[in-house]
Amino acid sequence: MTRVLPPGTKELSAPDALIVAPGIATPGRASPRGPLRREGPAKLTGVAKYADDLVFPGAWYGATIRSTEPHATLLGIELDDAFDWSQVVVVTAADIPGDNVVSLIRDDQPILVPIGGEIRHQAEALCLIAAADRGTLRSAKRHVEVRTQRLPAVFDPLESTEEFSHLEVGQGDLEAGFAEAELVVEGTYRVGHQEQLYIENQAMIAVPHAEDGMTVYGSCQCPYYIHRALKRSLQLTDAQAVVVQAETGGGFGGKEEYPSMIALHAALLARKLGKPVRMIYDRHEDLSATTKRHPAVIHHRTGVMRDGRLVAQEIDVVMDGGAYCTLTPVVLSRGVLHAGGPYRCPNVRIKGRAMATNTPPNGAFRGFGAPQTEFAAEMQVNRIAEALGISALELRRRWAYREGDTTPTGQVLRESVAALDVLEAAADASDFARHSEQTRRAREARQSSARVASGIGLAMGWHGAGFTGSGEVHIAGVASVELTDEGGIRVLSAQTEMGQGTKTIFPQLVAAELGIEEDAVEVAPQDTSIVPDSGPTVASRTAMVVGGLIVKAARRLRSQVEAATDRPFADSYREFALEHGGLRVDERFEPYPNVQFDDATYTGDAYPAFGWACAVARVEVDLDTGEVTVRDVVSADDAGRIIHPVLAEGQVEGGTLQAIGYATIEEIKLVDGRYLNDRLATYLIPSALDAPHLEAILVEKPFSGAPHGAKGIGELPMDVGAPAVVAAIHDATGIWIHDLPATAERILAALTGAPTPAAPGVSAPAPKRGAA
Amino acid sequence: MSYRFFVNDDPVELEVPGMRRLLDALREDLALTGTKEGCGEGECGACSVLVDGAVVDACLVPVCQVEGSRIRTVEGLGSEAELSDLQAAFLETGGTQCGICTPGMLMAAEAFLSSGGAVGDDAIREAIAGNLCRCTGYTKIVDAIALSAKRRRLAELGTG
C-alpha cells in the first residue's frame, strides 16, 4: 500500500505502515517532495555565515597549549624570557573566575589543568594564548614550555579499574533459557573510534560586553549547553551570557558537548583581553582533540533451539569513555538498551560498563552507543542463522518484534512497531533472496584462482527516538509559536540547523496547523537571548519532541485567535495582531501518555517510541588485496510520519554512507594514547567514488503520542549499515570479521590465515626510548 | 609585492606576500567568504575555486601563482534572488545539507559541466571525487549535477 497523509492530520489511528513513494503527487500535500530548504539559497551562494566567516573588527586569534603526554602531573608552565610577552595574552587555570569545570554530567573535566593538577590525556588543554595576528600567535606558542611528571597510563578499557558507569537490564530466567537451548553461540566483537568529520571544523568567537557579560558566536548543536557552561565558569547571570549559533557545517554529535570547551576557552581569553577572540580550530587540532565515537568490546552468548527459536541472550558491553566522563553514561545506557537488537527473547540479561582510559574523551556521535552494540547484535544473528541453516531474512522474520512484545526493560511495544515492514521493504527492493541464491552458487563454483568475490548482506535495527528514560521529563523543553505585533508568525526554539532540516520542517509543521503558507512562518535565530531552552539538538529528538511542542503551540495559538475573531486563523490573524497586539504561546514538554520509566530500577518505557531500519548491502571483495567495494545499499527506515521526504531521504543516505565508512575504512590508530592519523590525509572518509548507489525507502508507522505522528530519523540508518556490509563480506568470502572496521588488512589476514591485526580502538604503548 | 588578477570578472590588485594562500586572499583580503576551509591540505575540496577554468584547492595555491589569472568563486554564480541553473538544481534535489562543502562542490560541478564531456553517474562522481561531503552520501549531489546537465542539453537543443 502506498499512501501518504498530509502533515498535521488531526486524527491518528496508527494505520498499517505506509511506504512513501518519493515524487508521487499526493492529495493534501502541496508538494510531495516538501518545500525547498529554507536556508538553501544562502548556502548555495556563499552568503550563509559560518563562524569563521564572521568579522569582528579588532578580534584577536586564540590558541590552546595542550598536553603531549597521556598521563602526567602538571608541574609548571614556563614562558620563555626571550619572547616579548607584552604582545600576547596568556590564560591559565588561575584566571578562571568560577568553577574550573566543563559543565556536563560529572564535574571531572577541567577547562584548563591547574598547576599541580593531573593531565589525563594527550591533547588536554593546559593554557591559552591570544595574539593580534597569527604570526605572533605561532611564535608565542613555540615559547611556552610545559613541565610535567609522567604517570603510568591505561589504554585498554578491559584493563582499566576506573569506571564511569555501569548498568544492567534483563527479563526472564537466563539460566533456564540456556538450559533449554539446543545450540549456544558465542562471539566477541570489537569496534574502534570514529570521527564525526563534519567538514566545518569547530569554531567559536567570544565577544565581551562593554559591561559584564559575554556573547559567544559559533558552530554548535546545543546553545544552552554552552550557556550553562559560561554562566558557571565565568560567573555570569542568565542575561550576561549569550550564545548565538552561527551557520553550522555539520555536527553528527561532534558539536554536542565539545563546543562548550572551546567557547569557554575563547571567553576566558576575551575576558582577560577585553576584545573579541576567535578560536577557530584547524583540521589537525579538531581531529587531535575533539571527541570520537566510543570504542567498545561486546560479548554475546545466545541460546537458540534447532527450529530457530531464540531462548536466551546474555550480552556484556564494555565501552571506552576516554579520560573524562563527558556523556559516556548516557551513551552506555543507549548502547545497552539497544544491544539485544529488535528481537523478542524471553530470557535476557545485558550488562554494560564504561571505563576510563588515558585517551582523549569520547562523546556523542550519531547513534550514540547503538551502532556499536547493534553491530554486535546483527553479527550474532547472522552467525546464528548460518549455524542453524536458516536464511538471515527468515530468521529475522521469526524473531522481529511485533506489537505487544516486551523489551528487556519490560517495555511493552504497544504501537508503531515496523520491524517486519522495514525488513520486507528492504528485502523486496534489494531482491535479497534471489541475489543470495546467486552469490551462494558463485561461491560454490569459485575456483581458487578467483580474484574477486561478490556478496550480499542484511541487517536490521531499531533506535529509540528522543532522550533515554526520563530524559525528556528532566529537560522539560519549551518551544513557542508567536504572532508578532506586526502580524508575522515565528517559531522560537533552541533547535539548531546543521543540515538536517530544522529550519525547513518547523515552518512546515506550523503552517499546516495554522492553515497558512510555509513562507509566512519565520524561524527565530538560535540565540539564547531570544529563544527558549527547548533542549539540545541531539538524540533524533528535534522532529518528534520539539516538532510536537510547536504543533501543540500552533494549535493553541490558532484556537485563541479564532475564538477572538470567530473567523479562520488564516483570514484573521494579521487583523487580530493589529487590534490586540502580538500573542505568544509557550509549550512545555509533557510526558507522552502511558510512557513511564523508573530511573532507579531501569525498567519501563526506555523510549516513547522506536524507529526501525533494515539495510541490505552488496559488496565486491578483492581476494588478492582484501579491499572491499560496496556496490549498493538499500536502507528501509521507519521514522513515523514523514514530514519532508527529500530531507528524510537525505538523512538516510548520509547516515548510511557514514555507516559504510565505519564498516570499511574509518579507523583511528593510537600510539601512547595519541591519535596517529590526525589529518584528513590520513583519516579517510568515503568520497563520491567510494560511495555506493544508495536507495532510501521511507516507511511510515506513525507514533500516536506525537501530535504529528513523527519519530526520529537522524540516527536510525547509522545503526544498520555496518553489520549489513560485514555480512555481505562474509557472504562473498566465507570469513567473519569480528572487528570494525573491516579493513583490507583484517580481511586479508582472515583470508590468508595471517596474524589478526591489533584490536581497534586500543592504543599501542609509547615507543621505547633509544629504539631505532 | 603587488599581484593583479580577476575575481568573478572584477580586476583586483593585492599588496600581499606572494606565498599568501589564495584562500586567505579571497576570504580575508577580498571578503569573499563563500569559499570555505575544511582541511588546509588539499584533501576535502571545500575551498575549490576555478583558476582559468580549472578546479583548484585555494588552500594549496599561493597568490603569486594566479597573477593575471581569471578566478571564479561561488560568489560568481547566481545570487539568492536569482540562483544559477546549477544552484537551483542543488536546491531542488536536496543536494545541499549543512552547506559547508557546497560552494566547492558547485565549482567542481560547474567546471565539469562547462567542459562539455559525457555526463553519466560515473563521470559525475569522478568530477567531484576531490570534494568531500559528510551529510548527503552524495546521491542527491550527483542527482543535482545530472539534472543540471540535462537542462543545459535541453536548452542547447532549444536554441540550436
Q: Closest by alpha carbon to A294, among A258, A262, A263, A335? A: A335
Looking at residue A742, its pLDDT comes to 98
Is A33 part of a structural domain of the chain? no
pLDDT higher than threshold 60 for residue A172: yes
pLDDT higher than threshold 50 for residue A581: yes
B 97-126 near A (Cβ less than 8 A): 97-103, 106, 124-126
Is A29 part of a structural domain of the chain? no
Using a CB-CB cut-off of 8 Å, the residues of chain B touching A53 are 27, 33
- Residue pair A688/B141 in contact by the 8 Å Cβ criterion: yes
- Cβ of B39 within 8 Å of Cβ of A649? The answer is no
Count of domains observed in chain A: 2
Q: How far is it, in rounded angstroms, from Cα A700 to Cα A421?
A: 9
- Cβ of B91 within 8 Å of Cβ of A45? The answer is no
- Residue pair A347/A269 in contact by the 8 Å Cβ criterion: no
Q: Closest by alpha carbon to A244, among A219, A268, A272? A: A219
Q: How far is it, in rounded angstroms, from Cα A247 to Cα A239?
A: 23
Looking at residue A1, its pLDDT comes to 29
Q: How far is it, in rounded angstroms, from Cα A193 to Cα A196?
A: 10
Range of A724's domain? 296-468+601-752
Q: How far is it, in rounded angstroms, from Cα A401 to Cα A522?
A: 41
- Residue pair A240/A209 in contact by the 8 Å Cβ criterion: yes
Task: Give the pairing of strands A88-91 and A583-588.
Answer: unpaired
pLDDT, one tens digit per residue, over A217-235 is 999 999 999 999 999 999 9
Of A289, A304, A328, at which residue does a domain stop?
A289
Looking at residue A32, its pLDDT comes to 63
Using a CB-CB cut-off of 8 Å, the residues of chain A touching B94 are 37, 646-647, 649-650
Looking at residue A27, its pLDDT comes to 32
Is A237 part of a structural domain of the chain? yes
Q: Are residues A266 and A375 in the same domain?
A: no
Q: Are residues A350 and A462 in the same domain?
A: yes
- Cβ of B94 within 8 Å of Cβ of A247? The answer is no
pLDDT, one tens digit per residue, over A676-703 is 999 999 999 999 999 999 999 999 999 9
Which of A498, A646, A656 minimises the CB distance to B94?
A646
Looking at residue B7, its pLDDT comes to 98
In which region does residue A354 sit, left (phi positive, over 0), alpha (psi from -120 to 50) or beta (all else)?
beta
- Cβ of A653 within 8 Å of Cβ of B91? The answer is no
- Residue pair A680/B39 in contact by the 8 Å Cβ criterion: yes
Looking at residue A16, its pLDDT comes to 44
**Paired residues of A297 in beta bridges:** A190, A318
HSE at residue B109, side-chain half, CA atoms within 13 A, is: 33
Q: How many angstroms separate the most distant Cα atoms in chain A?
A: 87
**Chain A contact present for B21, CB below 8 A:** no
Of A238, A267, A289, at which residue does a domain stop?
A289
Looking at residue A4, its pLDDT comes to 36
Query: What CATH number has the domain bearing residue A63?
Result: 3.30.365.10
Which residue in chain A has the smallest CA separation from B129? A688
Q: What is the dihedral of CA A147, A257, A467, A188, to 10 degrees?
A: -50
pLDDT higher than threshold 80 for residue A596: yes
The lowest-confidence range among A10-24, A617-631, A668-682 is: A10-24
The residue whose grid cell reads 605572533 is A136
Name residue A11's amino acid: E
Name residue A192's amino acid: G
Using a CB-CB cut-off of 8 Å, the residues of chain B touching A197 are 134
Q: How far is it, in rounded angstroms, from Cα A161 to Cα A353?
A: 11
Mean pLDDT estimate for chain A: 95
Q: How far is it, in rounded angstroms, from Cα B47 to Cα B37?
A: 6
Q: How far is it, in rounded angstroms, from Cα A483 to Cα A486?
A: 8
Using a CB-CB cut-off of 8 Å, the residues of chain B touching A646 are 93-94, 140
Task: Say if residue A197 is exposed, middle or buried (CB neighbours under 10 Å; 0-12, 13-18, 19+).
Answer: buried
DSSP, res B130: T
Return the H-helix or E-strand segment holding B111: helix B102-115
Q: How far is it, in rounded angstroms, from Cα A369 to Cα A367?
A: 6
Average of per-residue pLDDT across A430-439: 98
Calculate helix-pair angle for A547-565, A569-580, nearest 10 degrees. 80
Q: In the structure, what pLDDT confidence band is assigned to residue B116 with cuts at 50, 70 and 90?
A: confident
Contacts of A499 (CB under 8 A, 6+ apart): A248, A249, A250, A251, B97, B98, B99, B135
Q: What is the dihedral of CA A248, A252, A256, A261, to 10 degrees?
A: -70
Looking at residue A289, its pLDDT comes to 98
Return the H-helix or E-strand segment holding A654: helix A645-664
Q: Are residues A672 and A746 in the same domain?
A: yes
- Residue pair A760/A190 in contact by the 8 Å Cβ criterion: yes
- How close does chain B come to A669, measured CA to CA in Å? 19
Q: How far is it, in rounded angstroms, from Cα A346 to Cα A311?
A: 6
Q: What are phi and psi of A354, to 5 degrees?
A: -115, 130
Looking at residue A472, its pLDDT comes to 95
Q: Are residues A324 and A257 in the same domain?
A: no
Q: How far is it, in rounded angstroms, from Cα B50 to Cα A583?
A: 50
Is A624 part of a structural domain of the chain? yes
Q: How far is it, in rounded angstroms, from Cα B30 to Cα B16?
A: 12
Sheet holding A521-523, edge to edge: A521-523, A489-492, A478-483, A583-588
- Cβ of B32 within 8 Å of Cβ of A46? The answer is yes
Check: complex ipTM more than 0.95: yes
> Where exactly are the structural domains of chain B?
2-76, 85-159
Alpha helices (H) along A240-369:
258-273, 283-289, 328-337
Which fold does the domain B85-159 belong to in CATH?
Answer: DNA polymerase; domain 1 (1.10.150)
SS3 A227: helix
Looking at residue A6, its pLDDT comes to 37
Looking at residue B159, its pLDDT comes to 66
Neighbours of A688 (CB within 10 A): 25
Q: Are residues A272 and A302 in the same domain?
A: no
Task: Give just the sign of the alpha carbon dihedral A356, A357, A362, A367.
Answer: negative
Is A185 part of a structural domain of the chain? no
Q: Are residues A609 and A698 in the same domain?
A: yes
Cell numbers standing for residue B113: 559541466
pLDDT, one tens digit per residue, over A717-753 is 999 999 999 999 999 999 999 999 999 999 999 999 9
Is A369 part of a structural domain of the chain? yes
**What's domain B2-76's superfamily in CATH?**
Beta-grasp domain (3.10.20.30)
Which of B79, B91, B135 minimises the CB distance to A250?
B135
Which of A196, A653, A656 minimises the CB distance to B140?
A653
Average of per-residue pLDDT across A160-186: 98
Looking at residue B119, its pLDDT comes to 86
Percent of chain A predicted with pLDDT > 70: 95
Name residue B90's amino acid: F
Q: Are residues A258 and A301 in the same domain?
A: no
**Chain A contact present for B147, CB below 8 A:** no
Q: Are residues A282 and A225 in the same domain?
A: yes
Using a CB-CB cut-off of 8 Å, the residues of chain A touching B102 are 43-44
The residue whose grid cell reads 563546543 is A259
pLDDT higher than threshold 90 for residue A762: yes
Q: Are residues A320 and A464 in the same domain?
A: yes
Using a CB-CB cut-off of 8 Å, the residues of chain A touching B128 are 688
pLDDT, one tens digit per residue, over A519-546 is 999 999 999 999 999 999 999 999 999 9
Using a CB-CB cut-off of 8 Å, the residues of chain A touching B133 are 199, 688
Q: Are residues A618 and A649 in the same domain?
A: yes
Of A271, A289, A307, at which residue does a domain stop?
A289
Is A704 part of a structural domain of the chain? yes
Q: Closest by alpha carbon to A262, among A111, A130, A54? A: A111
C-alpha dist (Å) from residue A237 to A213, A258, A479, B122: 8, 22, 22, 56
- Cβ of A46 within 8 Å of Cβ of B78? The answer is no
**Chain B contact present for A656, CB below 8 A:** yes
Cell numbers standing for residue A672: 601512547
Interface size A-B, in CB pairs within 8 Å, comes to: 173
- Cβ of A46 within 8 Å of Cβ of B44? The answer is no
- Residue pair A487/A240 in contact by the 8 Å Cβ criterion: no
A 243-282 near B (Cβ less than 8 A): 247-252, 282
Q: Report if pTM > 0.80.
A: yes
- Cβ of B38 within 8 Å of Cβ of A689? The answer is no
Percent of chain A predicted with pLDDT > 90: 94
Contacts of B112 (CB under 8 A, 6+ apart): B123, B124, B127, B128, B145
Contacts of A513 (CB under 8 A, 6+ apart): A8, A551, A554, A555, A558
Cell numbers standing for residue A287: 581531529
Task: Say if residue A404 is exposed, middle or buried (CB neighbours under 10 Å; 0-12, 13-18, 19+).
Answer: exposed
Looking at residue A307, its pLDDT comes to 96
